[in-house]
Amino acid sequence: MAQYNPPLRDLQFVLHELLDVCGEFKQIPAFAEVDADTVNAVLEEGGKFAKEVIFPLNITGDAEGCTLDKATHEVTPPKGFKEAYAQYVEGGWPALSCNPEYGGQGLPHTVNQCFYEMLNSANQSWTMYPGLSHGAYEALEAHGTPEQKALYLPKLVSGEWTGTMCLTEPHCGTDLGLLRTKAEPLPDGSYKITGQKIFISAGEHNLAANIVHLVLARLPDAPAGSKGISLFVVPKFLAHADGRLGERNAIHCGALEHKMGIHGNSTAQMILDGAVGTLVGEPHKGLNAMFVMMNAARLGVGNQSLGLTEVAYQNAVAYAKDRLQMRALSGPKAPEKAADPIIVHPDVRKMLLTARAFAEGGRALAVYTVLQLDKELHHPDEDVRKEASDELALLTPIIKAFITDNGWLATSHCMQVYGGHGFIHEWGMEQYVRDARINMIYEGTNTIQSLDLLGRKVLGDNGKKLKAFGKKIAEFVEEQGVREDMQEFINPLADLGDKVTKLTTEIGMKAFANADEVGAAAVDYLRVVGHLTYAYLFARMAKIALDKQGSGDTFYTAKLHTARFYFAKLLPETASLIRSCRAGLSPLMAMDEALF
């Protein structure tokens, strides 16, 4: 009953018409030969793989889940997952955006981002197995020794091995400064690592021959807190320098988490009992190295909810057009039928358009942000790299928190469209809601992202990064403000930009007196700035649609309608959020704990 069609037309619109990514690539020698035909061809084939190979495994994988053999500690993912992974490897998909030095295809991360959106729509649980490998690859490429790179990177790039990140422990949660896993030096320069890690996505499985775990642990002389954490690479099987597998390492899955969603992915409790690992980067600087992987994961989790938003929207629209119930309040719209299709009802339309706007706004922001990643890593101009790095830092917590919050809202709305059928597993909608809810929690809860945005990325540099992004918005407002047909987009965008500036200053002044003011405002503040990014991109998309609406292509007509809906029905949320921010700390802290 469920269906999925890759949104290739909208992806192409964002890539080529909104962002002109190939024009940007021409400024980067490594990508100068990447043209629109190449990008489109890759995504067309990637869409086929998502739709035809892994989407059919989504509902069945959720129902079956993963199985742990407690005697051998081996985990078997749902039926079909291993075969699908073999097709993924055979197609060369793991290598898409990896360095050719290690066997990669050398395409931009921007292309890989779009491919992974489609994979997440098709089957988030399956996509997490190869998805985490990208983060492990990037951390080792940035901080690994030459020997580590030579051993692990070609295998991760080919997909022969997969990767994970082993961060938290039962007592830690997000506060990694509390972790207790120990790393003791061995005479040969390696380390014996002992401890327990929990919530390890894709921690154990049989899809690949080896699993490369990146593990946070403490050396014997480590200072307390987060400044005493080191990073180690700990493979499931020890390997020879030529890549041949040796003996089983002393790391195993002790149990699988029985969680509300992403059942097809093996979220594992990993036990390290003297496992052998090697140090990545400098001693006690493990978080610096791991943040490469964590930031990649935060962009990836935003992409997960973007994928869920898109597929939930597609199915809800199909259902709303087909489901007959009641008559329109203004009179029958399908008099030849027993009742009208529910898509005629205003509130159903509101729910569908909310999901559509969150999908299209999220897609524009996600691709825009990953384009900054490509510039940061590869652009020849140092100033451009620095500007892109700052913008990436500013937008990463928004990608993670705003898109996942919106994904939860959108999938919930889409389930509501189904009425009682939305709760039935076979329709697929309740699975999207369960999966989307998890995305708001892991890789740093959305509150942590909000504190990161307001405390570190905005107030931490006196608003420098935010002002630079705001300057882009102001230039667009000035350029397009003379157009009469753009006023419905430009005026609210300019107004919100001014309000964000004033709100930021106000919170900053309060925080000087009491730092807890940041915690009181952060979640609402991130949502306000998230809307600012969407409003900016929707205004740019609306301009393109206005310029091309005479072409007769209904795509632009629909884009314009969606932009108008966003500005009329979703952006006004910022008024109440700003008011909540200004209410400050007192309403939250005034009540004595004993009264709770």
53-93 pLDDT, tens per residue? 999 999 999 999 999 999 999 999 999 999 999 999 999 99
Task: Decide if 15 is inside a domain.
Answer: yes
> pTM for the whole thing?
0.96
Residue 25 — pLDDT band, cuts 50, 70, 90? Answer: very high
Please identify, among 143, 175, 202, the residue that sits at the C-terminal boundary of a domain.
143
Q: Chain centroid to CA 93: how far?
A: 19
pLDDT tens digits along 202-244: 999 999 999 999 999 999 999 988 889 999 999 999 999 899 9
Task: Decide if 121 is inside a domain.
Answer: yes
- The pLDDT, as a whole number, for residue 175 is 72
The structure tokens listed for 496 are 């919100």
- The pLDDT, as a whole number, for residue 90 is 97
The structure tokens listed for 295 are 């930031």
Cβ atoms within 10 Å of 334's Cβ, excluding its own: 13
- The pLDDT, as a whole number, for residue 147 is 96
Residue 476 — pLDDT band, cuts 50, 70, 90? Answer: very high
Q: Is the pLDDT confidence value at 266 over 80?
A: yes
Q: Mean pLDDT score of the chain, rounded to an integer? A: 95
What distance in Å separates the CA atoms of residue 417 and residue 323, rounded to the nearest whole number? 10
Residue-level length of the chain: 596
User: Does 116 lie in the same domain as 197?
Assistant: no
Task: Decide if 319 is inside a domain.
Answer: no
Domain count, the chain: 3
Segment 121-136 shows an average pLDDT of: 94
User: Does 585 lie in the same domain as 453?
Assistant: yes
Residue 50 — pLDDT band, cuts 50, 70, 90? Answer: very high
**CATH value at residue 20:** 1.10.540.10
Residue 172 — pLDDT band, cuts 50, 70, 90? Answer: confident
User: Does 567 lie in the same domain as 461?
Assistant: yes
- Please give the sequence-ordered ranges of beta strands (E in DSSP) within 93-221, or none if there are none: 161-166, 182-185, 191-200, 210-217
- The pLDDT, as a whole number, for residue 77 is 98
Segment 380-388 shows an average pLDDT of: 97
> Which of 11-25, 33-47, 158-172, 351-365 is least confident?
158-172
**Taking Cα atoms as reference points, which of 325, 303, 306, 305 lies closest to residue 417?**
325
Please identify, among 291, 311, 337, the residue that sits at the C-terminal boundary of a domain.
291
Instruction: Give me the domain span that covers residue 94.
Output: 8-143
Answer for the pair 257, 198: CB distance below 8 angstroms, yes or no: yes
Q: Choosing from 310, 360, 443, 517, which is the catalytic residue?
A: 443
What distance in Å separates the CA atoms of residue 284 and residue 341, rounded to the nearest whole number? 61
Percent over 70 (pLDDT), the chain: 100
Q: Is the pLDDT confidence value at 401 over 90?
A: yes
Task: Decide if 427 is inside a domain.
Answer: no
Residue 274 — pLDDT band, cuts 50, 70, 90? Answer: very high
Task: Decide if 311 is inside a domain.
Answer: no
pLDDT tens digits along 416-455: 999 999 999 999 999 999 999 999 998 889 999 999 999 9
What distance in Å separates the CA atoms of residue 224 and residue 231, rounded to the nearest whole number? 15
Task: Decide if 205 is inside a domain.
Answer: yes
Task: Decide if 354 is inside a domain.
Answer: no
Per-position b or e across 62-77, b if 16+ CB within 10 A of its CB? bebbbebeeeebebbb
User: Active site includes 478?
Assistant: no
User: Does 128 lie in the same domain as 265?
Assistant: no
User: Does 114 lie in the same domain as 30?
Assistant: yes
Radius of gyration of the chain (CA): 24
